[in-house]
Structure 1
Amino acid sequence: MELEPVAPTAKAPDERFTGDVYVDIFHTPREPSRLIGSLVRFTPGARTNWHSHALGQTLHCTDGEGFVVSRDGTVIRLHPGGTVWTPPGEEHWHGATDAHLMCHYALLEGTGDGDGTTWLEPVTDEQYQQATT
């Protein structure tokens, strides 16, 4: 057993996120595990681009209010304690409501050559507004 060092908080890259998003990576893969774990904080209205994960992703909300939205139009509203599983390959986005911060743990398995995330186009303001109503 050992205490793992935690990397400093980083601002999420603008080419993959809209608005201010901050990430604390708390676990990177160690053989044989492929687990990747991050704490992600979204400011009001901030969100990811559309994306998918090769092996799926678990999101667990710790604070605030947010959404997880799939391409088929399904909208799941996140509140503290809520957990959402996005299956492998499902295109989706997640982020905060326009009135509240949102914080969640993001857990996924890496693929051996990275984290298995396929990043796509930004979520438009129209798509965001449609999901929030």
Structure 2
Amino acid sequence: MTTNNHGGMFGLGDPNDGFAQYFTGQSYLNPVLTEGINIFNVTFEPGCRNNWHIHHADKGGGQVLLCVDGQGWYQEWGKPAQALKPGDSVYIAPGVKHWHGAKKDSWFSHLAFELPGDNTPNEWCEPVDDQQYAAVEQ
């Protein structure tokens, strides 16, 4: 599978090796802005998704996803998955357990905006297993 022309207008970036343990499948990371607010273009190969995770914050914080290429999924714990396509955006409030990633037959890229706040660690949780993932693909 070629990686050419993936990542949308912000580019594919490099293999996301630093966070590979929190992903099922291969993802890529391309920093767009790292001053004032962090913005990263995250690209997922088909079927790739990150683990369930939570963005914590004592004040402010959270994350915004802006979809830029391909087709993907976003799901909050206990809620149905939401299909994503270029132009869609998602606000993820602090404390919300969720995951996001590519559909099984599509590359997917989104800009991830890390919203400023106080004490904003990420908590990485369990993987989205194949059965959970297959259920959203139906």
Which TM-score band applies after superposition, normalised by the shorter structure? 0.7 to 0.9
How many equivalent pairs are there? 121
Measured in 2, the distance between the counterparts of 1:14 and 1:108 equals 19
The 1-side partners of 2:103 and 2:93 are apart by 23
1:17 aligns with 2:23: yes
Q: CA deviation at 1:79?
A: 0.5
State how 1:1-133 maps to structure 2 within 5 Å.
9-12=14-17, 13-28=19-34, 30=35, 33=36, 35-54=37-56, 55-111=61-117, 116-133=121-138
Amino acid at match of 1:39: N
1:53 & 1:61 partners in 2: Cα distance? 19
CA distance in 2, matches of 1:56, 1:76: 18
2:22 and 2:50 in contact (8 A); partners too: yes
In the alignment, the residues of structure 2 paired with residue 87 and residue 74 of structure 1 have an alpha-carbon distance, to the nearest angstrom, of 17
8 Å Cα contact 1:26-1:37 kept in structure 2: yes
Q: What secondary structure does 1:80 align onto?
A: coil
Q: Distance in 2 between matches of 1:71 and 1:48?
A: 14
Uncovered stretches (5+) of structure 2, i.e. residues with no partner: 1-12
Retained in 2: the 8 A contact 1:65–1:101?
Answer: yes
Counterpart Cα distance in 2 of 1:111 and 1:118: 15
Distance across 2 between alignment mates of 1:83 and 1:51: 18
Give the aligned residue type for 2:52. Answer: W
Question: Which amino acid in structure 2 is aligned with residue 120 of structure 1?
Answer: C
For each residue in 1:10-67, what CA deviation from the matched residue of structure 2 results, as whole angstroms up to 9, or x when unmatched? 4243211110100012222x4xx4x211000000000000001122110011010000
Contact 1:60 1:82 in 2 (8 A): yes
Unaligned 5+ runs, structure 1 = 1-7
TM superposition shift of 1:105: 0.2
Distance (Å, rounded) in 1 between the aligned partners of 2:62 and 2:134: 25
Shift of 1:73: 2.4
Question: Residue 63 of structure 1 aligns to which amino acid in structure 2?
Answer: D
- Counting helix residues as a fraction of each chain, which structure ranks higher? 2
Point out 4+ residue stretches in structure 1 off by more than 3 angstroms.
110-113
Alignment RMSD, CA only?
A: 1.7
* TM-score, normalization by structure 1: 0.83
